[in-house]
């Protein structure tokens, strides 16, 4: 598979492709949102405004299905940001790929902006094993486990912060329910929830991109297949964005809403 360019600054590794993807995703979302709301009107809404209102209403009803209506209102913007950002991120890797290959007769370290991506030994070893060396410079940010882990950490923080501040008593009591023996399981659950969020999103999008890369190796025969898979990836991207968002709010709702049993 493609390698990802990781450069080191001050002993910390930075994955340039992921950072680029995150920045591009953010900019795309910002620009789209900004353009969509540039011409707001109370009396004569444009088509774009109607669409945005539909998105907001959709998100609102989605969240409202997981928690009481008056609590859902505060989270609509967060949920919309999440769903739009993840959806755009998921789609970003589909149309564009930017790959640089390392020639077979290249020897010595591979560098980028004065930074070493691969050491001379690694290149030689790869050549010796007849491996294909190529760097992918662009991808979906959500096809990177580290990026989805970031999103999941935000969710993790939100779940517990909101639980502690808004539902203090029941939040802590919740760990001992239904029986105190369940404490280890409940603790494990706090870890598994965000982990599954991150892994699910990453795995779906990454798998989609791997398959695209694989189909591309087929050459021109793969074109119809690629078209079908790209279409399906859009669907998967939308589903995963929706899933991530609704699960986030299911988890938040679990921690902030106390229901009498």
Partner 1 sequence: MHFVPSTTIIMIVAFILLYVFLNKYAFGPLFGIMEKRRELIQEQITTAEQSRTEAEQFLAEQKAALDQARKDAYEIIEQSKTTSTKQANEIVNTAKAEATRLKEDAVKDIESEKNKAIATLRGEVGELSVKIASKIIEKQVDSKSQEQLVNQYLKEVGGRP
- Rule CB under 8 A: is residue 121 a binding residue for partner 1? no
Single out the residue of 64, 67, 76, 243 in contact with partner 1 (rule: CB under 8 A).
76
Q: Which of 136, 147, 162, 252 binds partner 1 (CB under 8 A)?
A: 147
Q: Binding to partner 1 by residue 72, rule CB under 8 A?
A: no
CA dihedral 165, 160, 256, 55 (to 10 degrees): 110
Is residue 136 within 8 A of residue 97, CB to CB? The reply is yes
Compute the least distance from the CB of residue 76 to partner 1, in Å: 7
Residue 205 in contact with partner 1, rule: CB under 8 A: no
Evaluate whether 102 touches 110 at the Cβ level (below 8 Å): yes
43 binds partner 1 (CB under 8 A): yes
How far apart are the C-alpha atoms of 158 and 162, rounded to whole Å? 6
Q: Should residue 54 be labelled a site residue for partner 1 when binding is judged by CB under 8 A?
A: no
Tell me if 238 contacts partner 1 by CB under 8 A.
Answer: no
- In angstroms, the CA 111 to CA 89 distance is 28
Among 53, 125, 131, 177, binds partner 1 (CB under 8 A): 53
Residue 6 vs 234, nearer CB to partner 1: 6
Binding-site member from 64, 67, 126, 145 for partner 1 (CB under 8 A):
145
Interaction between residue 80 and partner 1 (CB under 8 A): yes
Asked if 225 and 182 touch (Cβ cutoff 8 Å), the reply is no
Cβ 98 to partner 1, closest distance in Å?
18
The site for partner 1, by CB under 8 A, has a size of 43
Site for partner 1 in 3-22 (CB under 8 A): 4, 6, 12-15, 18-19, 22
d(CA 124, CA 110): 11
Q: What does the CA dihedral 157, 163, 166, 172 come to, rounded to 10 degrees?
A: -140
Give, in order, the Cα–Cα distances in Å from 23 to each of 82, 88, 237, 244: 15, 12, 19, 20
Residue 174 buriedness (CB in 10 A; 0-12 / 13-18 / 19+): middle
The residues of the shown chain that bind partner 1, judged by CB under 8 A, are 4, 6, 12-15, 18-19, 22-23, 26, 29-30, 33-34, 36-37, 40-43, 45, 49, 52-53, 56, 76-78, 80-81, 85, 141, 144-151, 153-154
């Amino acid at each position: 598979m493609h390698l990802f360019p990781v450069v080191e600054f001050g002993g910390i590794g930075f994955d340039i492709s992921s950072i680029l993807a995150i920045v591009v995703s953010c900019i795309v979302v910002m620009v789209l949102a900004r353009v969509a709301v540039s011409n707001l009107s109370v009396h004569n809404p444009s088509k774009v405004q109607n669409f945005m209102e539909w998105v907001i209403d959709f998100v609102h009803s989605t969240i409202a299905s997981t928690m009481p209506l008056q609590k859902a209102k505060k989270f609509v913007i967060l949920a919309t940001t999440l769903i739009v950002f993840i959806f755009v991120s998921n789609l970003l890797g589909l149309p564009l790929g930017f790959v640089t290959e390392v020639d077979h007769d290249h020897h010595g370290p591979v560098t980028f902006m004065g930074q070493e991506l691969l050491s001379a030994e690694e290149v030689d070893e790869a050549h010796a094993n007849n491996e294909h060396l190529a760097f992918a410079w662009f991808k979906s940010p959500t096809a990177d486990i580290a990026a989805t882990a970031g999103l999941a950490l935000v969710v993790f923080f939100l779940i517990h912060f909101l639980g502690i501040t808004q539902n203090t008593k029941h939040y802590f009591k919740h760990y001992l329910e239904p029986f105190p023996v369940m404490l280890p399981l409940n603790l494990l659950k706090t870890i598994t929830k965000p982990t599954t969020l991150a892994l699910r999103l990453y795995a779906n999008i990454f798998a989609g991109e791997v398959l695209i890369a694989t189909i591309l190796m087929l050459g021109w025969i793969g074109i119809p297949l690629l078209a079908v898979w790209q279409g399906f990836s859009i669907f998967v991207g939308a589903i995963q964005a929706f899933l991530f968002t609704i699960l986030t709010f299911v988890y938040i709702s679990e921690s902030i809403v106390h229901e009498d049993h």
